[in-house]
Structure 1
Amino acid sequence: MLLLDVLPRLGVVDRQFVPPFGDMAAALGELASTQDFWYSLGDTLRGWGIGFAVAMVAGVVVGVLIGSVPVLREITASTIEFLRPIPSVALIPLAVLLFGTDLRATLILVIYASFWQVLVQVLSGVQDVDPVAEQTARCYGLRRLTVVRTVIWPTALPYVMTGFRLAATVALVLEITGELIIGTPGLGNRIGLAQSGGQIPTMYALVIVAGLLGAGMNAVARAAQARMLRWHPSIRRELT
């Protein structure tokens, strides 16, 4: 932080493009005192929350369904490998054509990117299930949902939580990217407006907020992962 403040003041870097950190902090203080900033933050969190929740539910359900049925896994393998690498930003023209600058346009990007993070992890988790344990459960006549709950889910849960942590971060990145490029209300949109209006300290202040938001979400996701998997050997090793 000290270097970031001193270097522009000494002229080592052009303060027109990288203002001193003190100017960024002052701009952040001014932003925090305005309602528009908090509305924008709320818009970003709302879009992130909706997209992330939809991606988690869809990824877990589809992943368990496909992963536990060998025929479905074989049929969908090539389709998944084809669609998964497509970058979400490539969908921006389609999203704008369908919904303009509405929240739904950004949600397409968020859900698409986050869904694959969850799906791939869940598929890996289901494939890691001990086939002997699964077959034993079926031999005892347990219902399919019971097998999923008692055999598949405990094995897949560590993978699900990894997908949860990855998807939380990816969803935020795509939410802010969509706001910046599409113009959906939120922090990304305000970053673009500040940049185009020459308000460079304000732009950096908003970038700092986005970075802090991402760090906070990652910390919360890690805490949730540790709590949900406190019985897992890997988590117990980290806690000891």
Structure 2
Amino acid sequence: MTGTPVIRGAAGVAVFLAAVELAVRFTLAEGVVFPPPSVVLREAAFLVADPDFLAGVAATLLNWALGLLVAVAVAVPAGVALGTLPAAERAARPLLEFMRPIPSVAIIPLAILLIPVDTAMKAAVIVYASVWPVLINTLYGMREVDPLAKDSLRSFGFGRLAVLWRVSLPSAAPFMATGVRIAAGVALILAVSAELLAGGSAGIGVYVIKAGSGNRTDLMLAATLWAGAAGLLANTLLQAAERRLFRWHEAGT
């Protein structure tokens, strides 16, 4: 039964690729250059042995991991603090609601001007984009803590820190994990976007720029395909970790 969704998903992807293949080969107007999926998949397979591309993947994943880790280290404590202190949350809410809708891609040119170090600039942009899903989900998780459970622990003489450690954090942990999983996808998008706009010595986005300068649309799409595969893999692994660590939460919901 567990393999059925995978089989259905693979079948859906195969049908979609076949439809695009036929559309590209037989319906595009003359003079329109767009590689069919078969060519893109072939080039994507060749990229596995391309040292320049592999170096770019490593650089992108390094920036992605660095930015995501910093975002989690900042957003989780901030979300816990704001969720525990209603007065602080009310004071910070206007600023959060002002900054959160700002498109993260829009701050890349500003970051380029303000942060001269390439890796630090890209990591800063990733942090800004990734903080919000973790922060908002942490806040939401802290609000969803059962007040009866907290009151019960207080009635036995436990202090605020003990209630936070024994009740609030375990209850909010699944929401935090969901925020991290969402932020992981956002972080990868910003990692590649920053490379596309700021350039650099290596990265998936840098490889796409170089392929585009050589009019290699097939290589551009092949590199983009691997970026999507990296995002899918990260989401799948984090989702599996959520299910394994928080089985009690899934059973309760």
TM-score for the superposition, normalised by structure 1: 0.90
Query: How far is the alpha carbon of 1:136 from its aligned partner?
Result: 3.7
Query: How far is the alpha carbon of 1:214 from its aligned partner?
Result: 1.3
Query: How far is the alpha carbon of 1:96 from its aligned partner?
Result: 0.4
Query: How far is the alpha carbon of 1:25 from its aligned partner?
Result: 2.4
Query: Unaligned stretches of 5+ in structure 2?
Result: 1-16
**2: distance between equivalents of 1:44 and 1:13?**
36
Match among 211, 214, 219 for residue 202 of structure 1: 219
Matched residue, 1:211: 228
Counterpart amino acid of 2:183? A
Query: Unaligned stretches of 5+ in structure 1?
Result: none
Deviations 1:9-55 (CA, angstroms, capped at 9, x unpaired): 32535685421222212322332222111111111111111111111
Matched residue, 1:183: 199
Does structure 2 conserve the Cα–Cα contact (< 8 Å) formed by 1:8 and 1:15? Answer: no
Does structure 2 conserve the Cα–Cα contact (< 8 Å) formed by 1:114 and 1:167? Answer: yes
* 1:129–1:10 Cα change, 3 Å: same
Counterpart amino acid of 1:94? L
Question: How do residues 161-172 of structure 1 correspond to structure 2 at under 5 angstroms?
Answer: 161-172=177-188
**1: distance between equivalents of 2:191 and 2:34?**
25
Counterpart amino acid of 1:49? A
Matched residue, 1:37: 53
Deviations 1:136-195 (CA, angstroms, capped at 9, x unpaired): 433434244322221101221121121011111111111111111111431011112212
Deviations 1:79-116 (CA, angstroms, capped at 9, x unpaired): 11111111111211221012347011111221111101
Matched residue, 1:236: 251
**2: distance between equivalents of 1:14 and 1:159?**
51
Counterpart amino acid of 1:3? A
Match among 56, 81, 85 for residue 101 of structure 2: 85
Counterpart amino acid of 1:191? V
Does structure 2 conserve the Cα–Cα contact (< 8 Å) formed by 1:7 and 1:13? Answer: no
Counterpart amino acid of 1:227? R
Question: How do residues 3-82 of structure 1 correspond to structure 2 at under 5 angstroms?
Answer: 3-12=19-28, 16-82=32-98
RMSD of equivalent CA atoms:
2.0
* 1:100–1:194 Cα change, 3 Å: farther
Matched residue, 2:7: none
Matched residue, 1:147: 163
Counterpart amino acid of 2:196? L
Stretch of structure 1 that moved more, 143-152 or 212-221? 143-152
Identity %: 35
Deviations 1:59-95 (CA, angstroms, capped at 9, x unpaired): 1111001110122112111111111111111211221
Stretch of structure 1 that moved more, 175-184 or 127-136? 127-136
**1: distance between equivalents of 2:110 and 2:146?**
42
Matched residue, 1:226: 243
Alignment: residue pair count: 236
Counterpart amino acid of 1:65? A
Stretch of structure 1 that moved more, 86-95 or 23-32? 23-32
The secondary structure found in structure 2 opposite 1:231 is helix
Deviations 1:190-213 (CA, angstroms, capped at 9, x unpaired): 112212220111011011111111
TM-score for the superposition, normalised by structure 2: 0.86
The secondary structure found in structure 2 opposite 1:142 is coil
